[in-house]
């Protein structure tokens, strides 16, 4: 019997429903080519000067809220410690099955920080177009890859991190989690995802322990059960909070210090919202099936 799990979804749109993961017999092919240049950002798009003055361009903690019209979806990311500060917008202009854009302000008219389109045979990979660091710099497209597994669903990406002579390519994995880091997100449900720093490990890895099942079994907070650093966490919103709130995102460890680089911070935020987009799709499909 396949295991069911709950998909977090804004309550004003759809009550929480159960949904079964599909089973897969084969993993999609995994390659390690990073930094392709087929960017869909407009030419000469670069990070705003206001985001390049320090090492970490974003607040340490984001609160995410949700707005929806008939066809358009918008999520706002606001500093959880300064709720009146300017927010960042995540836009799905064609709905949850279309492209995603990340903006340096509260509307889709603000400067672009990234654009994303669905890719891959399963439609669960994402091509993420990142801006240049400075005027005249090179734009890159990195890939968020889906590794389907009934017990250990996971997404991963690899990209250059660090600065100067210390730049190297490292791999990062978004793993489902109910651990202390996720439970510590204010207003969260205690369930969500954690971004794990894998270092230079590039090979496809489907053998990590089931972090959702044994997250706090004898491990040190801030590290996974297989000894890797947790650099960001996402917690789905608790049911007691306002209906428009969808969750919270926090940078942790080396992810909070900025040592991984400005573009890594952008990639961490936007890939988290890519996973939310897939959850949105699944909830939509579950609602359609229930209504049929």
Tell me the pLDDT of the chain (292 aa) as tens digits: 444 333 343 433 333 332 323 322 333 333 334 454 444 798 889 999 888 877 788 999 999 998 876 667 899 999 999 988 889 999 998 888 889 999 999 999 999 999 999 988 777 899 999 999 988 889 999 999 999 877 778 999 999 998 878 899 999 999 999 988 999 888 778 889 999 999 986 655 444 544 554 455 567 888 998 899 999 999 998 665 566 889 999 999 999 999 999 999 999 999 999 999 988 888 878 878 888 7
With tokens 């809220």, the residue in question is: 65
SS3 of 52, please?
A: coil
Q: For position 71, what pLDDT does the model report? A: 66
Neighbours of 225 (CB within 10 A): 18
Whole-number Å distance between alpha carbons of 171 and 157: 6
The whole-model pTM stands at 0.82
Question: Any residues with CB less than 8 A from the CB of 12 and at least 6 apart, and which?
Answer: 68, 243, 244
Q: What are phi and psi of 218, to 5 degrees?
A: 70, 25
Q: What are phi and psi of 114, to 5 degrees?
A: -170, 155
Q: For position 120, what pLDDT does the model report? A: 82
Whole-number Å distance between alpha carbons of 229 and 201: 13
With beta carbons less than 8 A apart as the criterion, state whether 123 and 146 touch. no
Bin 72: left if φ > 0, else alpha if -120 < ψ < 50, else beta. beta
With tokens 């996971």, the residue in question is: 154
Neighbours of 8 (CB within 10 A): 22
Whole-number Å distance between alpha carbons of 179 and 228: 14
Question: Any residues with CB less than 8 A from the CB of 28 and at least 6 apart, and which?
Answer: 120, 121, 122, 125, 145, 146, 148
Q: For position 240, what pLDDT does the model report? A: 53
* Half-sphere exposure for 165 (CA within 13 Å, toward CB): 0
Tokens of 113: 């920080």
Tokens of 261: 């680089």
Bin 116: left if φ > 0, else alpha if -120 < ψ < 50, else beta. beta
Q: What is the CATH number of domain 50-291?
A: 3.20.90
Whole-number Å distance between alpha carbons of 76 and 234: 15
């Amino acid at each position: 019997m396949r295991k069911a799990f709950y998909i977090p979804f804004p309550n004003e749109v759809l009550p929480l429903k159960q949904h079964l993961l599909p089973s897969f017999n084969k993993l999609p092919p995994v390659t390690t080519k990073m930094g392709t240049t087929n960017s869909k950002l407009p030419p000469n798009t670069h990070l705003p000067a206001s985001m390049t003055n320090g090492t970490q361009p974003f607040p340490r903690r984001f609160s995410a809220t949700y707005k929806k019209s008939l066809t358009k979806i918008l999520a706002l990311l606001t500093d959880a410690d300064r709720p009146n500060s300017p927010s960042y917008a995540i836009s799905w202009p064609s709905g949850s099955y279309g492209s995603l854009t990340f903006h340096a302000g509260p509307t889709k008219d603000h400067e672009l920080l990234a654009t994303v389109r669905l890719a891959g045979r399963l439609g669960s990979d994402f091509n993420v177009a990142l801006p240049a660091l400075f005027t005249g710099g090179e734009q890159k497209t990195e890939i968020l890859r889906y590794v389907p597994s009934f017990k250990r669903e996971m997404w991963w990406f690899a990209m250059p991190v660090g600065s100067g002579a210390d730049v190297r390519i490292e791999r990062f994995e978004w793993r489902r989690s109910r651990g202390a880091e996720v439970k510590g997100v204010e207003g969260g449900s205690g369930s969500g995802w954690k971004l794990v720093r894998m270092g230079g490990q590039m090979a496809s890895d489907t053998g990590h322990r089931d972090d959702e099942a044994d997250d706090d079994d004898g491990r040190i907070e801030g590290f996974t059960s297989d000894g890797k650093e947790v650099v960001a966490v996402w917690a789905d919103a608790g049911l007691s909070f306002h209906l428009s709130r969808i969750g919270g995102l926090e940078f942790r460890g080396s992810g909070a210090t900025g040592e991984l680089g400005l573009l890594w911070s952008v990639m961490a935020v936007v890939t988290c919202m890519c996973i939310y987009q897939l959850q949105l799709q699944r909830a939509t499909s579950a609602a359609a099936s229930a209504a049929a």
